[in-house]
């Protein structure tokens, strides 16, 4: 019996290995702040490294991980000072966030970021943008562009 040797060419980014499947996402993160768009949407199956990529960008861009509580604080004006200080945002698992009927809040948040024109927003999902659980066409439009 002959043994096959698998020749993986990994590029170590601390605790994350860059492969051919995730190299595009890592290259994009490395190019920040020279992105063509304020919004980046990464999607892939669970456990493929999306959260790790978010954490790499979080350190590089001094970004804040969003959750429902932080978005609610933002809209209740108890988080506004941080919005002015921290200009970069991450919403990991946006598909799960939207399943809890937070689509209007997310649309408003995206509109405010677009208005400021100084902030960047990274979103991840286990589904492509067109399959996000929302009926708000404006939100889909923002995510797709």
Q: Which domain holds residue 88?
A: 11-144
Would you say residue 1 has pLDDT above 60?
no
Classify residue 1: in a domain, yes or no. Answer: no
Q: Where are the beta strands (DSSP E) in 22-94?
A: 39-43, 64-65, 88-91
SS3 145: coil
Classify residue 119: in a domain, yes or no. Answer: yes
CATH number at residue 135: 3.40.50.300
Domains identified in the chain, total number:
1
User: Residue 87 CA to chain centroid, in angstroms?
Assistant: 14
Give the tens place of pLDDT for each residue, 39-92: 999 999 988 889 999 999 999 999 999 877 777 776 666 555 556 656 899 999
Classify residue 21: in a domain, yes or no. Answer: yes
Classify residue 126: in a domain, yes or no. Answer: yes
Give the tens place of pLDDT for each residue, 102-130: 888 889 888 888 887 788 999 999 999 99
Classify residue 5: in a domain, yes or no. Answer: no
pTM of the model: 0.81
Classify residue 4: in a domain, yes or no. Answer: no
């Amino acid at each position: 019996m002959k043994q096959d040797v698998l020749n993986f060419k990994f590029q170590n980014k601390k605790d994350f290995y860059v492969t051919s499947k995730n190299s595009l996402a890592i290259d994009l993160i490395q190019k920040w702040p020279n992105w063509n768009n304020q919004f980046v949407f990464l999607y892939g199956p669970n456990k493929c490294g999306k959260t790790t990529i978010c954490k790499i960008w979080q350190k590089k861009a001094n970004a804040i991980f969003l959750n429902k509580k932080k978005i609610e604080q933002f809209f209740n004006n108890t988080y506004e000072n941080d919005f002015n200080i921290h200009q970069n945002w991450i919403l990991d698992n946006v598909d799960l966030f939207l399943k809890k009927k937070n689509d209007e809040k997310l649309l408003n948040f995206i509109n405010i970021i677009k208005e400021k024109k100084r902030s960047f927003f990274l979103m991840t999902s286990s589904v492509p943008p067109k399959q996000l659980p929302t009926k708000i066409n404006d939100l889909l439009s923002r995510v797709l562009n």
